[in-house]
Amino acid sequence: MAPKRLRTVDSESKQAVQNRSSMVTRSRSSSVKKISDDNSINNSPVVVFAHGAGAPSSSEWMIRWKNLLTDSLNAVEIVTFDYPYISKRKPPPKAEKLVEFHSDIFKAITAKYPLHPLILVGKSMGSRVSCMVAAENGIRASAVVCLGYPLKGSKGAIRDGPLLQLTVPTMFVQGTKDGLCSLESLEAVRKKMKALSRLHVVDNGDHSMKIAKKNLKLAGITQEEAEQCAVQAIAMFVSQIIGAR
């Protein structure tokens, strides 16, 4: 019997799209360096990429995904940063308390690249804060990409408020074994969202899209192939949104 392949879902909601820190780090794509110097060519995106609650922007996961996004999106720049609690070695505060810091970084990057589409990307908690930032007045985000959205709170409550406030196109990349976001719960929320949304499913992926070795073997794929499939879906989503500008 032929090996199973990774199942992915790429669906779209029926609703249309409605019209300071010194620790910031950046990743550039050399292939688009000239684009960033020529404001007449502005379809290459700039990405602001937020980390999750438990690990900083320098974590192995964040560095790997930053590189994946740089290559797949042909991005002018991938901007990563650490929320202030990281350097203070404190537990993460409520997501709402991180919005102002995150917004300030986004606004600074917007001023640097006024003609380029800006994409908010976040892992877990960073994706939730990114959605809050995108809904703020004065934030000119072209899209949001959520890598493992933490829909389920610590006490089991469905934290859909930020998603229901969104009006910019939003993409979710979720594993089927993500204990913080069941696909059934996410689908119910997506039906209520005002914003266009899209979903890419990583079969047997956990909250970080990690797939157990036995499931990789059964599917006949590698972890790298699963991640490449995800970033290709993200690239297609971003390309379509940018092309509609």
pLDDT in tens, 195-238: 999 999 999 999 999 999 999 999 999 999 999 999 999 999 99
Average confidence (pLDDT) over 12-33:
37
CA distance 236 to 239: 5
Average pLDDT over residues 156-164: 94
> What integer pLDDT is reported at residue 43 of this predicted model?
82
Question: Exposed, middle or buried: residue 128 (CB in 10 Å: 0-12, 13-18, 19+)?
Answer: buried
The pTM assigned to this predicted structure is 0.84
Token pair belonging to 141: 């985000």
pLDDT of residue 169: 98
Q: Tokens 């990409």 — which residue?
A: 145
Closest Cα to residue 146, out of 124, 163, 168, 164? Answer: 124
pLDDT, one tens digit per residue, over 60-101 is 999 999 999 998 999 999 999 999 999 998 999 999 999 999
